[in-house]
Structure 1
Amino acid sequence: MSSGTLRTDGIGRRGLLQGAAALGALAAAPPAGAAAKAPQLAPTPPMGWNSWNSFATTITEAQALETAAIQARELLPFGYTIFTIDIQWYEPEASSYTYNAKPMPTLDAFGRLLPAPNRFPSAAGGGGFTAIAKQVHALGLRFGVHLMRGIPRLAVERNLPVLGANGIRARDIADTGSTCPWNPDMFGVDMRKPGAQAYYDSVFALFADWGVDFVKMDDMSRPYDAHAPEIEAAARAIRASGRPMLLSLSPGETPVPRAEHVARHAQMWRISDDFWDEWTLLDAQFTRLENWSAYARPGAWPDADMLPLGRLALGQRDTKFTPDEQRTLMTLWSIARSPLIMGGDLRHLDAPTRALLTNREVLAVNQASSENRPWFVADHRRVWTARAPQGGHYVALFNTGDKDGEATFDLRLLGRTGATHVRNLWEGRDEGPCAVRMVRTLPSHGAGLYHIA
């Protein structure tokens, strides 16, 4: 899926940014009642790797374990802890970024999805993802899986029983009028029906038995209100499973006015459709992250989607982002505290991409900053700031225009009145004192990230 028309959910761009200081004060405060109703499973933005950008629907057990070993060696030391197998791990015939019109997913006797054993041999005999999860855990990583909203259409066709629901079957709980517009695998679950919650409980109990730590649940956030009962059901099922699993909702756009509800039930949620390596899509994410900036907080993270960097698309190409655009991407995701989920094929991880992903000073902005806020948009220039944990502030300058040019920021807006010390985080060097008006020349589609002390 690709991002649609950019919306601001009723918040004007300049109006939002002119009020950034007031909005920033809200960022430290959780939505009313949220802290009491859900444990904090993601105190910092989740970091990891996901198979979608590089493998589509096709990843196999051998590829997964090879990738997990590379992640543990190359990225885990920098905080990338989550390893996720994305969509259609249950589909024996999955072959690309498209979906079979009449899928035949692998199911158990209760209509629950199982890994396709022709792709995941260790799943044969009902083992599920247990063996893979154990190997991923042994590497020091957390194991994640993708899940579509609802109940498999094949389970409804076969009218399989719902585990623990006293004779209730799939057709009793399926909402056959609730379908995903881009994937044919599932029907929605009508949460008004007896046995509906039992079905979701059984799915997440199975995940808990396998050792799952992270669930990316798809076809959830749009239309949000129509799917809210199933969002709540998934959160209840995770609590009932007894295993702490992070819940990531996908795709967006999650509506900003539903921020309180989504933060109560999930640890991260998408703010856009699938994000790929096109400048127009990256440019659009600025406004979305600006609109969500007041709501990112420990345990609840607006998600700008995966990082389409390095080798992509079943090995057919490398990212189309220029080096400057790649730096802009990492700078924006870091200063806005979006989750950092690498999507490129780690088997082809090159030195420049590795350096981009593993700059410790930049990652500290994503993981440890606070009071993150946008300031203004003018003449293709954007500015974000945040408070640094070691004191001082972070300043991110962006040039989204098509020509090189200066980006400026008045440091008096941060309470600075005299000369300050500047460190360039991307370059890893001190730049010395700076006057209250910070001026930097940036390339087209480029960014700079600085610590001001």
Structure 2
Amino acid sequence: MPPTPGPVTTAAGGPPSRPPMGWNSWDCYGTTVTEEEVLANARFVAEHLLEFGWDTVVVDIDWSDPTAKAHGYNAGAPLCLDEHGRLVPDPGRFPSSAGGAGFAPLAAQVHALGLRFGIHVMRGIPRAAVAADTPVLGAGVGAAALADRTNVCEWNPDMLGLDHSHPGAQAYYDSTLALYAQWGVDFLKADDMLWPYQAADVEAYARAIARSGREIQLSLSPGRDLSLSRLAHLRAHATTWRICDDLWDRWEDVEANFARFARWAPHAGPQGWPDGDMLPLGRIGLRAERGEPRHDRLTPAERRTLVTLWVVARSPLMIGGDLPSSDPATIALFTNADVLAVLEATGNREVLREGPLVLWTAQGDGVGYVAAFNLGTEPLAVALDSLDVDLPARLGRVEELWTGEAVTTSPVTAQEDATRGVAPGSTAVPVTIEPHGAVLLRHTP
């Protein structure tokens, strides 16, 4: 049996050298995922993806709502609460949680597969707890005394804000994190935190995690209009933070993240990971917020572009499709070890954006990486100047990592004309890129 996962560290015991990677239920099951579906995906991750670094399984929003439905939320939903106003799983969808067990039995099953277990949480305190004025553990007051009715999520009806001028607000978060630690939670996707920016809640959540006695990664959402001026605060309190709104299987969603990643990727690393949202790839929309059951609507070239950009930008990677029913070509996107190695590169950055061509570079362990993207609708053939993409003037072996094929390069002499746009003394690296496509090159001296 695989061992229960330990703390998230590098081999040397420091912070992780790559961002979190795993599966999340949102894109395929929305608010309605069941225990059986979580376990089916967890088993798939353990059997097929764990060896490539995918090690986290996350139950997304509304796991406490017995009336959860596809395509939205239920106002006034009869959420499952414990005696202290804390959300607990709906035993109808999560049978192992019955009798006050919470997510502990499900987390134990996920851990037994060698994986980490995560859940989604919302900022604030449940309206139902406030209405019942349930006693808050460690606060000395009921939930009604802690509610801030002026700072409420605009898209989800379940929660009220917390009044952080009252010490009981911190006590409430402390009590929830103590419960999650008891369950064995390793990863928290905390929502309604960044738009607008909820600094007090971010800090209170980080304190509660620190007091819980368990190492828990904190992921903040959503990231609409997130300013780089927040970087220091985010690094001080969170593991990952979203830099965009929800991303779906539309090219315009993918393309919009090029500019965001160009701004944020230079700051990705063990101090924290800017997050471009989940990978809406494979079989999605089974009971999700948007659309009907489908294989994602991106073209094969667009799927490769999405994964290439997220990897070269060192974004967290959370697969959104139902893995057991996704096609083998999609699964193959997640099992290319050479591509995933770029997550541990350094200096990852955009170096050129001109017309449809976008170029990124990064440096690995003795190798150089170049990601070339075509945002246009026609095939693009270009000769890259090696010195323009942080490669040496004279090159060793260059290969394209998605295909594994060698790329034939040619040094440019002073006598040669410059019709290819490559300076004398450099090496020309010819690539042809599909519409909305990408190539990912690795140079080995």
TM-score computed with the length of structure 1 as normaliser: 0.88
User: In the TM superposition, what is the alpha-carbon distance from 1:191 to its structure 2 partner?
Assistant: 1.2
> 1:283-316: CA deviations, max 9, x gaps?
1000000011221111400000100111000171
Which residue matches 1:218?
191
In 1, Cα distance between the equivalents of 2:327 and 2:70? 24
Which residue identity does 2:317 align to in structure 1? Answer: L
Q: Give the alignment of 1:262-281 within 5 angstroms.
A: 262-281=234-253
Which residue matches 2:299?
322
In 2, Cα distance between the equivalents of 1:102 and 1:357? 39
- Is the aligned partner of 1:427 residue 2:403? yes
Which residue matches 1:182?
155
Say which is worse superposed, 71-80 or 202-211, in terms of deviation.
Answer: 71-80
In 1, Cα distance between the equivalents of 2:179 and 2:436? 45
Residues 1:41 and 1:125: Cα distance change in structure 2 (over 3 Å): farther
Which residue matches 2:431?
440
Residues 1:260 and 1:132: Cα distance change in structure 2 (over 3 Å): same
Residues 1:40 and 1:206: Cα distance change in structure 2 (over 3 Å): farther
In 1, Cα distance between the equivalents of 2:337 and 2:16? 20
Q: In structure 1, the residue corresponding to 2:100 is in which secondary structure?
A: coil
User: In the TM superposition, what is the alpha-carbon distance from 1:41 to its structure 2 partner?
Assistant: 5.2
Q: Give the alignment of 1:92-131 within 5 angstroms.
A: 92-131=66-105
Q: Is the 8 A contact 2:262 2:349 kept in 1?
A: yes
Q: In structure 2, the residue corresponding to 1:122 is in which secondary structure?
A: helix
Q: Is the 8 A contact 2:120 2:188 kept in 1?
A: yes
- Aligned-residue Cα RMSD (Å) equals 1.4
Greater RCO structure (CA 8 Å; 6+ sep): 1
Q: In structure 1, the residue corresponding to 2:86 is in which secondary structure?
A: coil
Which residue identity does 1:250 align to in structure 2? Answer: S
In 1, Cα distance between the equivalents of 2:367 and 2:307? 21
Q: Give the alignment of 1:362-381 within 5 angstroms.
A: 362-366=339-343, 368-381=344-357
Q: Give the alignment of 1:21-420 within 5 angstroms.
A: 42-165=16-139, 167-224=140-197, 227-253=198-224, 254-314=226-286, 316-366=293-343, 368-389=344-365, 391-413=366-388, 414=390, 416-420=392-396
Q: In structure 2, the residue corresponding to 1:72 is in which secondary structure?
A: helix
Residues 1:434 and 1:206: Cα distance change in structure 2 (over 3 Å): farther
Q: Is the 8 A contact 2:368 2:391 kept in 1?
A: no
Q: Is the 8 A contact 1:144 1:216 kept in 2?
A: yes
> 1:328-371: CA deviations, max 9, x gaps?
001101111111110000121321011111111001112x2111
> 1:374-398: CA deviations, max 9, x gaps?
0111111100000012x13100000
User: In the TM superposition, what is the alpha-carbon distance from 1:434 to its structure 2 partner?
Assistant: 4.4
> 1:383-427: CA deviations, max 9, x gaps?
0000012x1310000000011112443211325222432011001
> 1:246-299: CA deviations, max 9, x gaps?
000011122211011111100100000000010011110000000112211114
User: In the TM superposition, what is the alpha-carbon distance from 1:432 to its structure 2 partner?
Assistant: 4.4
User: In the TM superposition, what is the alpha-carbon distance from 1:115 to its structure 2 partner?
Assistant: 0.1
In 2, Cα distance between the equivalents of 1:415 and 1:269? 31
> 1:76-127: CA deviations, max 9, x gaps?
1211100000000000000113000211110001110000111111111110
Q: In structure 2, the residue corresponding to 1:357 is in which secondary structure?
A: coil
Q: Is the 8 A contact 1:42 1:267 kept in 2?
A: no
Q: Is the 8 A contact 1:307 1:342 kept in 2?
A: yes
Q: In structure 2, the residue corresponding to 1:244 is in which secondary structure?
A: coil
User: In the TM superposition, what is the alpha-carbon distance from 1:42 to its structure 2 partner?
Assistant: 3.9
| Bigger-Rg structure (1/2) | 2
In 1, Cα distance between the equivalents of 2:154 and 2:78? 18
Q: Is the 8 A contact 2:395 2:443 kept in 1?
A: no
Which residue identity does 1:398 align to in structure 2? Answer: F
In 2, Cα distance between the equivalents of 1:291 and 1:157? 43
In 1, Cα distance between the equivalents of 2:186 and 2:18? 16
Q: Is the 8 A contact 2:146 2:163 kept in 1?
A: yes
In 1, Cα distance between the equivalents of 2:16 and 2:155? 29
Q: Is the 8 A contact 1:324 1:445 kept in 2?
A: yes
Aligned residue pairs: how many? 410
In 2, Cα distance between the equivalents of 1:398 and 1:83? 30
In 1, Cα distance between the equivalents of 2:44 and 2:380? 39
In 1, Cα distance between the equivalents of 2:229 and 2:14? 22
Q: In structure 1, the residue corresponding to 2:206 is in which secondary structure?
A: helix
Which residue identity does 2:47 align to in structure 1? Answer: R
TM-score computed with the length of structure 2 as normaliser: 0.90
Which residue identity does 1:256 align to in structure 2? Answer: L
Q: In structure 2, the residue corresponding to 1:396 is in which secondary structure?
A: strand
Gaps of 5+ in 2: 1-12, 288-292, 412-426
